[in-house]
């Protein structure tokens, strides 16, 4: 079932069963590859924090039933996403990423801001990141994505949740067709969330590293997002709206 977001441009999928199937990414001609490599090198010179590691792109989506979704995915690297700068190229694929909806015990949702050293400085989003492919010839499944979501949560915020305590809550498709898997975590007291974030950032600074996040906020409605300084991802308001609506809040 697809929900139309009142904020426009983002679809929300109510998925009860998720399957993933590997596919091939469209090939690039040698000329197009050179153009992409040049664009990537230019981007890295502008932001040395960029890293051309393995990533997962979304080839397409198919419905097996009202709530059964098949995701077709391909192995790429982050370099692939500079294809979006070349409108004439058709080999570009949207990204596949995981996020964690981490609520407080009073019904708010944790939002996080990317630090200046990241590829998206100052951007507000949910904890998470791009999906990573398994070893060659190995399948990608929901359990692996759940583990990755839990790892992103603890690495970025210090909040440690067992992967088995996360559940797939909603799937989003953004304005650029990127697909996000939103995993719902058990509620935590605000004090615990703030203490663990502060401890994690202090530990990173002590090691001479810049934390991936430089700020967190607890939002109780989409109206709480507008005052946050900086851009925010397109799914943030729709997901917060869905969670904080009494008729859709889990357990109601």
Please, is 62 exposed, middle or buried when counting C-beta atoms within 10 Å of its C-beta (0-12, 13-18, 19+)?
A: exposed
DSSP annotation of 187: P
> Is the pLDDT confidence value at 242 over 60?
yes
Where does the pLDDT of residue 3 fall: very low under 50, low under 70, confident under 90, or very high at 90 and above?
low
| Predicted model pTM | 0.91
Of 103, 147, 109, 149, the C-alpha closest to 129 is: 149
Q: pLDDT by residue (tens digit) across 161-199?
A: 999 999 999 999 998 899 999 999 999 999 999 999 999
Q: What is the mean pLDDT of residues 80-86?
A: 80
Residue 4 has pLDDT above 70, yes or no: no
pLDDT band at 82 (very low <50, low <70, confident <90, very high): confident
Predicted confidence at residue 6, as pLDDT, reads 67
| Domain boundaries, given as residue ranges, for the chain | 2-244
pLDDT over 50 at 252, yes or no = no
Question: What is the fold of 2-244?
Answer: Nucleoside Triphosphate Pyrophosphohydrolase (3.90.79)
């Amino acid at each position: 079932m697809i929900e139309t977001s009142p904020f426009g441009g983002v679809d929300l999928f109510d998925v009860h069963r998720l399957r993933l199937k590997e596919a091939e990414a469209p090939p690039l001609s040698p000329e197009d590859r050179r153009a992409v490599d040049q664009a990537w090198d230019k981007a890295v010179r502008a932001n040395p924090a960029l890293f051309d590691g393995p990533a997962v792109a979304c080839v397409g989506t198919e419905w097996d039933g009202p709530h059964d979704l098949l995701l077709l995915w391909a192995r790429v690297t982050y370099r692939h996403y500079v294809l979006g700068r070349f409108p004439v190229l058709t080999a570009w694929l949207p990204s596949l990423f995981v996020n964690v909806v981490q609520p407080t015990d009073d019904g708010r949702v944790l939002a996080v801001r990317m630090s200046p050293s990241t590829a998206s400085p100052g951007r507000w989003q949910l904890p998470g990141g791009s999906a990573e492919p398994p070893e060659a010839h190995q399948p990608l499944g929901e359990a692996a994505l759940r583990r990755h979501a839990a790892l992103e949560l603890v690495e970025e915020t210090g909040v440690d949740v067992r992967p088995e305590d996360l559940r797939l809550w909603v799937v989003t498709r953004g304005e650029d067709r990127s697909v996000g898997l939103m995993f719902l975590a058990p509620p935590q007291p605000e004090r615990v969330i703030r203490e663990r974030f502060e401890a994690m950032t202090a530990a990173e600074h002590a090691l001479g590293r810049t934390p991936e996040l430089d700020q967190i906020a607890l939002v109780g409605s989409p109206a709480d997002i507008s005052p946050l300084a900086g851009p925010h991802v397109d799914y943030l308001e729709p997901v917060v709206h869905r969670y904080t609506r009494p008729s859709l809040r889990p357990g109601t």
